[in-house]
């Protein structure tokens, strides 16, 4: 019996075979268990002899099984080590590096241009008071021009800002009328619009403000001309058209020439040769007054633009929603501009 068992242990090819041998010889129905179970029937003299023999046989088979088992386990471990060995000479997989979003790039570029002209960058809250969003900008309650900017109200006095102009009103207030202000304010704004290729209920603005003694319309024109040429190219010309904003008087809209413009976004351009890119004007005396400036002593200009629109014109993006849906195929085209 012992010989047979040891032979089978030796022949076992894997852990499963071994287990079968164990069950066959040492299991509940195996011969050794049977012998031990039958001990009661033996005579007093036979009992210790048979008992000892059965136990030795069981111990030897167990030892052989364990020895073989550890050999198999060692082999399995070696095999695993071989399979999982790392080849340090293989070339690495490239790590895909993220990049700034196109809008972030554009806003940064606009900021850099204006910083170069001596403007500070200011930020303000996106949840704004009715006072700063409208009233301080010469838009009293019930003013019909409030309709130009359909708003998301949170309470009667709080809303999501509809433009970044309130940051300008806040900054003027901060300086309390005895200091010049030269700042731009980039940020998110919200309007109750139905989203389509050219409208979004949330978009970005960069507005600028310069208040000092003797600031004139020609200063506005000079700054905007500089911006247009640096941003869109030296060959660009600008044109100011009369317009209306409650917080500026006179108000203008600025077009840039687009003779050399190429790409999808330029179809409008080809017809007239001009495309509108921003609004601006001389700060309304009432706005200066409300912020504590004496309009007889101080004057200023302000302007506002939408980076999405500017990016769409510069890169021929045909749908504003591309900026917010974060499709990698769109975004990747503009990495490392």
DSSP state, residue 28 = T
Query: Interface with ligand PHE includes 308 (CB under 6 A)?
Result: no
Residue 176 CA to residue 11 CA, distance in Å, equals 97
Q: Is 243 helix (H, G, I), strand (E, B) or coil?
A: strand
Please name every residue paired with 300 in a beta bridge, in sequence order, or none if there are none. Answer: 211
Q: Which of 64, 172, 185, 302 binds ligand PHE (CB under 6 A)?
A: 302
- 159 counts as binding ligand PHE under rule CB under 6 A: no
First to last CA, the chain: 82
Residues in Cβ contact with 302 at an 8 Å cutoff, skipping those fewer than 6 apart: 165, 168, 207, 208, 209, 210, 247, 248, 280, 281, 282, 283
Closest-approach residue to ligand PHE (CB): 304
Among 210, 227, 232, 245, binds ligand PHE (CB under 6 A): 245
Partnered with residue 110 across adjacent β-strands are none
In angstroms, what is the minimal distance from the CB of 336 to ligand PHE?
31
Read out DSSP for 155-186? SSSEEE-SSSHHHHHHHHHHHTTSS-EEEEEE
Residue 46 among known ligand-binding residues: no
Partners of residue 46 on adjacent β-strands: none
Cβ 257 vs Cβ 239: under 8 Å: yes
**Binder among 304, 309, 313, 317 for ligand PHE (CB under 6 A):** 304
> Which residue from 30, 187, 246, 280 is in contact with ligand PHE, where contact means CB under 6 A?
280
Stretch that binds ligand PHE, among 3-11, 59-67, 173-181, 274-282 (CB under 6 A): 274-282
Which residues in 173-212 contact ligand PHE (CB under 6 A)? 207
Smallest separation, CB 275 to ligand PHE (Å): 17
Rg, the chain, Cα only: 41
Per CB under 6 A, 303 contacts ligand PHE: yes
299 binds ligand PHE (CB under 6 A): no
For ligand PHE, which stretch binds (CB under 6 A), given 14-22, 80-88, 254-262, 302-310? 302-310
Which of 138, 165, 204, 257: binder of ligand PHE (CB under 6 A)? 165
Residue 246 binds to ligand PHE (criterion: CB under 6 A): no
How many amino acids of this chain bind ligand PHE (CB under 6 A)?
Answer: 11
Q: Is 137 in contact with 281 (CB distance < 8 Å)?
A: no
Annotated binding site for Mg(2+): 249
**Which residues form the interface with ligand PHE (CB under 6 A)?**
163, 165, 207, 245, 248, 279-281, 302-304
């Amino acid at each position: 019996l012992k010989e047979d068992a040891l032979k089978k242990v030796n022949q076992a090819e894997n852990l499963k075979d071994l287990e079968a041998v164990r069950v066959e010889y040492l299991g509940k129905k195996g011969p050794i268990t049977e012998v031990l179970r039958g001990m009661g029937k033996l005579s007093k003299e036979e009992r210790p002899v048979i008992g000892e023999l059965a136990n030795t046989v069981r111990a030897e088979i167990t030892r052989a099984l364990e020895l073989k088992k550890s050999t198999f386990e060692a082999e399995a471990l070696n095999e695993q080590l071989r399979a999982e060995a790392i080849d340090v000479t293989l070339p690495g997989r490239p790590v895909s590096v993220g990049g700034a979003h196109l809008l972030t790039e554009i806003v940064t570029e606009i900021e850099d241009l204006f910083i170069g002209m001596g403007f500070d960058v200011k930020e303000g809250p996106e949840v704004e008071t009715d006072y700063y969003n409208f009233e301080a900008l010469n838009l009293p309650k019930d003013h019909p021009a409030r309709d130009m900017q359909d708003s998301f109200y949170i309470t009667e006095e709080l809303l999501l800002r509809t433009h970044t102009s309130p940051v300008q009103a806040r900054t003027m207030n901060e300086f309390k009328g005895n200091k010049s202000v030269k700042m731009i304010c980039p940020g998110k704004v919200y309007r109750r619009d139905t989203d389509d290729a050219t409208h979004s209920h949330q978009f970005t603005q960069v507005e600028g403000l310069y208040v000092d003694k003797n600031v004139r319309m020609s200063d506005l024109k000079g700054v905007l001309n500089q911006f247009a040429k640096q941003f869109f190219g030296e060959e660009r010309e600008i044109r100011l058209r009369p317009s209306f904003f409650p917080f500026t008087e006179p108000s203008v809209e600025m077009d840039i020439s687009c003779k050399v413009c190429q790409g999808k976004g330029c179809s409008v351009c080809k017809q007239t040769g001009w495309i509108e890119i921003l609004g601006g004007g001389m700060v309304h005396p009432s706005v200066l007054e409300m912020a504590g400036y004496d309009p007889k002593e101080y004057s200023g200009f302000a302007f506002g633009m939408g980076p999405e629109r500017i990016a769409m014109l510069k890169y021929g993006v045909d749908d504003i929603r591309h900026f917010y849906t974060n499709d990698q195929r769109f975004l990747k085209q503009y990495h490392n501009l």
